[in-house]
Every structure is written in C-alpha cells, then in structure tokens.
C-alpha cells in the first residue's frame, strides 16, 4: 500500500512550553496508571498465595497469572466504552475518568482482606477490581496518545508520542522500585505477610498528583475545532467498525502491527521476569533488580526510535523489531539460563529424563486457564517435573503398564504425587539438577551489584530484549493515530491496540507457562511470541501503509 499524502507543513524549531506541559501531564498521569496496573503483575506470586491459598501451588500460580490476565481481557471493552465517550465528549475528560477508576481500584486492592480472612469473597473481589483496572486502562492509553498526537506538529509526531510510549515501561520500573524499597526496608517475611499492600496503598498519592495535573489541561485543539465546526461523529462505534472502509484498517492495524508488538513487549519484560523467577528459580529481589536495570539502560530508546520513525517511517522500525525478536528469542533466553542458573542449564543439556507410561493414562497438560486438576500418575509426574524446571520427554509403554521416571537410564517407579515426588526430586538432583537455593544461581546483594560478570551479562541480555520492545513500541502510537480520522480516532485506534496488547500480550505469561508444562521444555513457551511476531512481520510488510506523512487534521 502506498504512503498517504502530505497536506501539513513541517514545523521547525523545538518544543514550545505548552507542548512540553501537554507531554509531561499526559505522560506522568499515564506512568502512574501503568504503575497501578503492573503492581499486580510484579507481585503475582505473593498475591496468589494471599488470595488463592485454597489451591495447590502450581494451580495457585496459574490462577494468579489468570487474574492478572483478566485485566487484559477486558481492555478492548474499555477501549470501546471510553473510546466512544472520547470521540463524542472529548479527550481530556475521558482520561480523567479512567485514571480515577484505575487509582481507586488499585488502592482498594491494598485494603482487601485475603482468603484466610473472608474466604471465597477475596479472590472474587480481587478479580472484579482487576476487571475495573483493565476497563480503565482500555480507555486511558488511546486518550493519552491521541491527545499528545493532536498537539504535535507535523513531522514530529513520532518523537512527541514516544514520550507516551515510555510510560508503560516507566510505570513498571516505578512499581519495581517501590516494591524493592519496601522489601528491603521491612524484610522478605514481613513483605510476604502484609508489606505487599504498601505499594498498592501508595497509589492514592500518585492518583492525587495525576488528577491535579490533568485538571490543568485544555481539550485537544484538533478535536475542539472539529466539534466547533459540527463535524464530530454521533455514532463513532458504527462508523469505526460497521463501515468496512475503516474496519479493514482496524483489522490490519491489529494483525500487521499491534499483535506482534504486544507479544514482543510482554516477552521482553513480563515473561522475562516470570522466566527468571518461576523457571530459573532466581529469587524475587534479584529478578526484579535485573529487570529494573535493563529498563534503566533501555527506556531512552523509546524516544530514539520514535524520533527515527519521523525520519524513515514507522513501518520499517516496528516490523524489524518483530522480525529480529522472532529470530533471536531462543538464543537469548538460552544465554539468560546459562548465566542466571548455569547448573540448571548444564543439567538440561546433560540429563535425559523420560516419563514412561501407558498412553491411555496420560492426558494433555496444556492448561492455561488453570481449571483442571491432575490426578493420574502420568500427569502429576509430568506436572511436577515441569514445575521443577526439569526438561523431560514422554515415552509410551505397553498397555496397562505403570508409570516410571527414567533419569539417565535409571528408573524411578511413580505411584502418585504424595509418595513419589520426593523420590523423583532426589533422582534428578543426583543426576545434576540443582537444589533449591543452590550456589551458582545469580543473586544480587544490593541494587548496585551490577559489575560482576554474571550479573552484567544477564542485564545485557535483558537490555537487548528491551531494545526490541522500544523498536516495536516507540513508533506505534503515532502510527495508530495516523491511520484513523479525527472524529473516530479515539475509538478506532484503541481497539486494535488493546486486543493486540491486552489479549495477545496479556495472555502470554499464562499461555507460555502452560506450553512449558505440557511439553516439558522450558523454552517451548517462546513459540507463542515467535509465531505471532512473525505473522505481524509478514502481514505488515505486504499490507501496512506507511503513515508518517499523513495529515491527521482530516
């Protein structure tokens, strides 16, 4: 598809004072909103123990991840609801409402009694609050990105909107800092018991600052001009999605843009954190610090790639990020393993573990929704091995045969989880798999312990993942704004963004972990982002238009 025509003039010179305030106010408020949203993701393990304590540990982790994903699932519905309001009423007041909903929902999580206190009501209320957060975030991003873009001079939209793109990473970074400070101050035991609530409660202060700043903003000049001229849409949902000429652009923006961007984003930050903690068994303090340092070094590249997209286009940068990520995820995560837990990586390469059982007694372990309970010995054995980060294969024995675990040719009979898991664990540890807390696993003694080769290597690898994130995410706001006309822009751009990020990205941790559990390969979960990033690279290359020169006043 050809590049869209230019009708605006490029303005020379730097930002004006008013433009700087617009970017600061929109970005700062969105940082706080992402901070609220990501607190849960960063503390999913602790929250799972607090609110899903009635379930076994493996199921508890899946439920915790799914509660996190629930907020992502409703984001497209928030995009529809608040996008319509934003296209009819205005950008400013819509994202004032969204930040109020987000901030209050997060604050209430900090006050919510756990399952031990109020039973089943605790997880139900928690999920309801997560849904409220997701609805609010569904309306927030589109409003902030549209608002900044409509204040930006032509030729600089990629650069101006890239500051909004830093907010998701800065929000995650801020949440990690508050968590680490609280953990360090009160200790791990107290943090797990009650201190995890403090970062949620702090959000009420951030909410107050955000609302105060946003109340000082005026309406977007492009939207206000359109409204004054009576050219606004009275039915933005119908015009955005029932009219095929616009609906096909929405679909293309999803498949050829935000779908791949979403999976690269969540692999590079959230799945990387989950991989370090749950699969490589790195302690939470160290894992969060490693991610935090990679964000410190990498966040500025959102602005670099946003600026670059004004020069060479949005499309080549976004698609290159998707393609390079798809080609290199496997080697990068393998190198992370060999540096973060070298004994585990060595054991995976040198130890052959097989589950030998009658095929009729082995089910499918793919369980991303966490609702199935495994009782058959073949299934509980494989689930235990996956939870222990042991790479295994399944070999089917004669009909009616029992279950055996073969570790480098030595057989361990397996009857049930209660009596046999300890024997299996002892066998794999004797073969080379490290014990919990074993020496050699990366561990940071303080936040500035980053100069040791082991730590520096991991931060460097995580930094590469963050660079991929900045490539796909830095220019995406400008591209989405430029694809759609003013009167339905908020609605049209928000939906593909939040399906791509909320569904394809938000479901990534739970789905990838379920793939790991079902295959017995700790790297198999990477096929999820690789496949979708590759689809976006191909579809985007052939069908996506270049938008950097489009006139957004239309």
Tokens found for residue 25: 């106010």
Tokens found for residue 180: 């680490």
**pLDDT reading at 213 higher than 90:** no
Q: What is the C-alpha radius of gyration for the chain, rounded to an integer number of angstroms?
A: 24
Q: Which residue has the higher pLDDT, 207 or 222?
A: 207
Q: Angle CA(44)–CA(48)–CA(54) in degrees, nearest 5?
A: 170
**pLDDT reading at 387 higher than 90:** no
- pLDDT band of residue 337 (cuts 50, 70, 90) is very high
- β-partners of residue 405 are 355, 412
CATH of 17-341+444-543 among 1.20.1250.20, 1.20.140.10, 3.40.50.300, 1.20.120.530:
1.20.1250.20
Tokens found for residue 15: 């930002």
pLDDT of residue 122: 85
Q: Which residue has the higher pLDDT, 465 or 371?
A: 465
Q: What is the mean pLDDT of residues 173-197?
A: 88
pLDDT tens digits, one per residue of 493-538: 888 988 998 789 878 887 898 898 888 899 999 999 999 999 999 9
- pLDDT band of residue 65 (cuts 50, 70, 90) is low
Q: What is the mean pLDDT of residues 2-7?
A: 41
The two beta strands, 410-414 and 403-407, are antiparallel
- β-partners of residue 412 are 405
pLDDT of residue 8: 46
Tokens found for residue 534: 């590759």
Distances (CA, A) of 332 to 13, 337, 441, 463: 41, 9, 18, 11
SS3 assignment, position 277: helix
Tokens found for residue 47: 């929250």
Q: Angle CA(234)–CA(74)–CA(130) in degrees, nearest 5?
A: 130
pLDDT of residue 50: 85
**pLDDT reading at 294 higher than 90:** yes
Closest CA to 142 of 82, 223, 212, 226: 82
Name 73's Cβ contacts closer than 8 Å, sequence gap at least 6. 134, 502, 503, 506, 507
- β-partners of residue 354 are 393, 406
* CATH 1.20.1250.20 domain extents, the chain: 17-341+444-543
pLDDT of residue 369: 62
pLDDT of residue 256: 95
pLDDT tens digits, one per residue of 355-382: 999 888 888 888 776 667 788 899 999 9
Distances (CA, A) of 88 to 81, 82, 151, 432: 11, 10, 18, 63
Residues 470, 477: Cα–Cα separation, whole Å: 12
- For CA atoms 155, 161, 163, 166, give the dihedral sign: negative
- Number of residues assigned to the chain: 554
pLDDT tens digits, one per residue of 95-153: 788 888 888 888 998 999 988 888 888 888 888 888 888 888 888 777 788 888 888 88
Structural contact between residues 59 and 373, judged by C-beta atoms closer than 8 angstroms:
yes
Structural contact between residues 75 and 228, judged by C-beta atoms closer than 8 angstroms:
no
Q: What is the mean pLDDT of residues 152-160?
A: 88
pLDDT of residue 418: 85
The residue assigned the tokens 């091995």 is 385
CATH of 346-430 among 3.40.30, 3.10.450, 2.60.40, 3.90.550:
3.40.30
Structural contact between residues 142 and 158, judged by C-beta atoms closer than 8 angstroms:
no
Tokens found for residue 286: 């160290």
pTM for this one? Answer: 0.86
Structural contact between residues 30 and 141, judged by C-beta atoms closer than 8 angstroms:
yes
The residue assigned the tokens 């966490």 is 370
Residues 479, 477: Cα–Cα separation, whole Å: 5
Residues 462, 280: Cα–Cα separation, whole Å: 14
Residues 517, 380: Cα–Cα separation, whole Å: 11
214-228, 278-292, 472-486: least confidently modelled range: 214-228
Tokens found for residue 508: 């990534």
SS3 assignment, position 395: strand
Structural contact between residues 223 and 91, judged by C-beta atoms closer than 8 angstroms:
yes
pLDDT of residue 2: 40
pLDDT tens digits, one per residue of 399-408: 888 899 999 9
Distances (CA, A) of 519 to 105, 111, 481: 37, 39, 41
pLDDT of residue 543: 94
pLDDT of residue 466: 95
**pLDDT, mean over the chain:** 86
**pLDDT reading at 385 higher than 50:** yes
pLDDT of residue 6: 42
**pLDDT reading at 63 higher than 60:** yes
Q: Which residue has the higher pLDDT, 543 or 141?
A: 543
Q: Which residue has the higher pLDDT, 6 or 383?
A: 383
pLDDT of residue 459: 97
* CATH 3.40.30 domain extents, the chain: 346-430
Closest CA to 91 of 225, 196, 193, 200: 225
pLDDT of residue 437: 74
**pLDDT reading at 11 higher than 60:** no
Distances (CA, A) of 176 to 99, 182, 293, 467: 20, 10, 10, 19
Closest CA to 212 of 103, 328, 368: 103
pLDDT of residue 33: 66
pLDDT of residue 5: 40
- β-partners of residue 358 are 397
Tokens found for residue 502: 């909320």
Residues 53, 40: Cα–Cα separation, whole Å: 16
The two beta strands, 403-407 and 393-397, are unpaired
Q: Which residue has the higher pLDDT, 195 or 13?
A: 195
Q: What percent of the chain has pLDDT over 70?
A: 93
Closest CA to 366 of 168, 515, 242, 502: 515
Residues 34, 28: Cα–Cα separation, whole Å: 10
Q: Which of the 8 DSSP states describes residue 487? A: G
Tokens found for residue 27: 């970005």
């Amino acid at each position: 598809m050809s590049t869209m025509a230019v009708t605006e003039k490029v303005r020379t010179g730097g930002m004006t004072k008013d433009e700087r305030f617009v970017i600061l106010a929109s970005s700062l408020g969105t940082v706080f909103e992402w901070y609220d949203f990501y607190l849960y993701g960063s503390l999913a393990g602790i929250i799972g123990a607090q609110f899903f304590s009635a379930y076994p540990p493996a199921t508890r982790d899946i439920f915790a991840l799914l509660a996190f994903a629930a907020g992502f699932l409703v984001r497209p519905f928030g995009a529809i609801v608040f996008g319509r309001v934003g296209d009819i009423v205005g950008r400013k007041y819509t994202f004032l409402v969204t930040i109020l909903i987000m901030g209050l929902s997060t604050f209430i999580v900090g006050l919510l009694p756990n399952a031990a206190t109020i039973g089943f009501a605790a997880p139900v209320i928690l999920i309801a609050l997560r849904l409220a957060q997701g609805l609010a975030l569904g309306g927030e991003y589109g409003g902030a990105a549209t608002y900044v873009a409509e204040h930006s001079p032509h030729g600089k939209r990629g650069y101006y909107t890239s500051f909004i793109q830093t907010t998701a990473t800065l929000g995650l970074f801020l949440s990690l800092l508050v968590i680490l400070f609280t953990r360090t101050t009160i200790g791990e035991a107290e943090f797990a018991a009650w201190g995890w609530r403090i970062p949620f409660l702090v959000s009420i202060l951030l909410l107050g600052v955000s609302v105060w700043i946003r109340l000082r903003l005026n309406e977007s000049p492009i939207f206000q001009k359109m409204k004054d001229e009576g050219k606004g849409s009275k039915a933005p949902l119908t015009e955005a999605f029932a009219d095929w000429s616009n609906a096909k652009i929405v679909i293309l923006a999803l498949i050829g843009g935000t779908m791949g961007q979403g999976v690269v984003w969540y692999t590079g930050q959230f799945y990387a954190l989950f991989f370090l903690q749950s699969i490589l068994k790195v302690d939470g303090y160290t894992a969060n610090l490693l991610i935090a340092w990679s964000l410190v070094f990498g966040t500025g590249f959102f602005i670099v790639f946003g600026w670059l997209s004004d020069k060479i286009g949005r499309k080549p940068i976004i698609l290159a990020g998707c393609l390079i990520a798809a080609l290199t995820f496997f080697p990068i995560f393998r190198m992370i393993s060999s540096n973060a837990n070298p004994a585990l990586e060595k054991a995976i390469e040198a130890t052959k573990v097989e589950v030998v059982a009658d095929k009729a007694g082995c089910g499918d372990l793919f369980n991303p929704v966490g609702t199935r309970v495994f009782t058959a010995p073949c299934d509980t054995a494989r689930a235990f091995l996956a939870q222990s980060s042991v790479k295994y294969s399944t070999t089917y024995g004669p009909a009616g045969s029992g279950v055996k675990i073969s570790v480098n040719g030595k057989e361990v009979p397996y009857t049930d989880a209660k009596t046999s898991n300890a024997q299996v664990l002892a066998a794999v540890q004797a073969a080379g798999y490290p014990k919990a807390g074993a020496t050699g696993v990366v561990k940071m003694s303080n936040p500035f312990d980053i100069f040791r080769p082991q730590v520096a290597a991991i931060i460097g690898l995580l930094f590469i993942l963050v660079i991929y994130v900045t490539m796909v995410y830095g220019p995406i706001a400008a591209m989405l704004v430029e694809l759609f006309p003013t009167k339905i822009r908020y609605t049209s751009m928000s939906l593909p963004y939040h399906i791509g990020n909320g569904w394809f990205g938000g479901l990534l941790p739970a789905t990838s972990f379920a793939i790991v559990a079902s295959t017995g390969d700790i790297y198999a979960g990477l096929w999820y982002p690789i496949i979708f990033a590759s689809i976006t690279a191909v579809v985007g290359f052939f069908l996506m238009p270049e938008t950097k020169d489009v006139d957004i006043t239309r």
